[in-house]
Amino acid sequence: MNRKIFTGAAVMATCVALSVSTIAFADRDDDKRGIFKHTGTLPAVTSKLYAAECGACHFAYQPGWLPARSWQKMMGELDQHFGENAELDQESRQAITRYLVAEAADVKPNRKSRKILRSINKDEAPLRISTLRYIAKKHDEIPARLIAGNARVGSAANCLACHTEASTGYFDDDGVIIPGYGRWED
């Protein structure tokens, strides 16, 4: 009888340990540290033209941050791009628009893009990624003094200031280092 209880308890403990470790391992979103698909990312920017033209003035946001309708609207209003004239020649504008639309959140959705899309009403075409409800929710625990009040950050639109791997599309919490503060732990 004691042997059956001991064997049953050992089997149960082993199952629990394997379950917990599998869940913890599977929850890791980083290919470099686990075997599961890197789900905490947006696909990296692959258009050299987009990276060069748009990245010359600001972070070249991954297309998966916005739906196609937003990118189309933004690229159609480059003469009034957030208070600046960012007009491009027609060929470059069309090529960049095609790229952004083809890779948009609602065209090539991944885990993060789906979360972003759920925060946008279907009739909205937001232009400012930093004002998306998804982004606001992800940053709501961070005191304003560490973002807007931090001269080395300025706003949530300055992704590269804190997200050390933003250019690769990796935005998970474990890659956040706030200038003048250090690693952010939520």
pLDDT of residue 11: 60
pLDDT of residue 19: 59
Helix (H) or strand (E) holding 11: helix 2-26
- Examine the domain organization and report whether 85 and 151 are in the same domain: yes
Rounded to the nearest angstrom, the gap between the alpha carbon of residue 132 and the centroid of all alpha carbons in its chain is 12
pLDDT tens, residue by residue, 16-38 = 565 555 544 444 343 443 444 44
* DSSP β-bridge partners for residue 177: 183
- Examine the domain organization and report whether 34 and 53 are in the same domain: no
- Examine the domain organization and report whether 84 and 176 are in the same domain: yes
**Residue at 157 is within a domain:** yes
List the one residue out of 127, 134, 71, 135 whose CA is nearest residue 103.
71
- Examine the domain organization and report whether 6 and 75 are in the same domain: no
- Examine the domain organization and report whether 135 and 170 are in the same domain: yes
User: CA 82 to CA 54: how far, in whole Å?
Assistant: 13
Work out the mean pLDDT of the chain and round it to a whole number.
85
User: CA 128 to CA 126: how far, in whole Å?
Assistant: 6
- Examine the domain organization and report whether 158 and 115 are in the same domain: yes
Residue 180 tokens, joined: 């003048």
pLDDT of residue 151: 96
User: CA 48 to CA 71: how far, in whole Å?
Assistant: 17
pLDDT of residue 79: 96
pLDDT tens, residue by residue, 75-95 = 999 999 999 999 999 999 999
Report pTM.
0.77
- Examine the domain organization and report whether 3 and 30 are in the same domain: yes
Contact 64, 110 (CB under 8 A): yes
- Examine the domain organization and report whether 136 and 70 are in the same domain: yes
If pLDDT is split at 50, 70 and 90, which confidence band does 98 have?
A: very high
pLDDT tens, residue by residue, 49-68 = 999 999 999 999 999 999 99
pLDDT of residue 114: 93
The DSSP call for residue 13 is H
Who wins on pLDDT, 157 or 185?
Answer: 157
Domain total for the chain?
A: 2
**Residue at 55 is within a domain:** yes
**Residue at 85 is within a domain:** yes
Helices within 27-120 (DSSP H only): 48-55, 68-76, 90-102, 111-118
pLDDT of residue 32: 42
pLDDT of residue 167: 92
- Examine the domain organization and report whether 66 and 97 are in the same domain: yes
Rounded to the nearest angstrom, the gap between the alpha carbon of residue 104 and the centroid of all alpha carbons in its chain is 13
Domain span at residue 1 reads 1-38
Beta strands in 9-88 (DSSP E): none
**Residue at 23 is within a domain:** yes
- Examine the domain organization and report whether 9 and 59 are in the same domain: no
